[in-house]
Amino acid sequence: MFGAEHSQQVERNLADIEAMIARLEVLPFDDKAAYHFGQIRAALYRTGQPIGPYDMMIAGQARASGLILVTNNKKEFERVPGLVLEDWSEA
């Protein structure tokens, strides 16, 4: 939303986002995801290789839900133990 709100074509970009979101199932960040986030944060700080807080939340959600995380930022997310990744840009 920040990018859309900060763009030159706010209304058009917000409409594009709404159209995309309407096709997706948006998962709540629940207690299970928060628990995994906490585990991930502790593990990464123990190894001295933390990732960004939003990336940890995304990883926590994916791991808690048993989902494959599709990203082109594998270098960052590969540090997360137990996270299954796919990079579709490599195909």
Q: What is the CATH number of the domain that holds 53?
A: 3.40.50.1010
Structural contact between residues 71 and 79, judged by C-beta atoms closer than 8 angstroms? no
Looking at the chain, the whole-number percentage of residues with pLDDT higher than 90 is 93
Specify the pLDDT at position 91.
67
Within a domain: 86: yes
How many domains does the chain fold into? 1
Tens-digit pLDDT profile for residues 13-45? 999 999 999 999 989 999 999 999 999 999 999
Domain that holds residue 64: 28-90
pTM (2 d.p.): 0.82
| Average pLDDT of every residue of the chain | 95
Phi, psi values for residue 79, rounded to 5°: -75, -15
Specify the pLDDT at position 1.
86
Tens-digit pLDDT profile for residues 49-76? 999 999 999 999 999 999 999 999 999 9
Best CA proximity match to 81, nearest among 62, 31, 27: 62
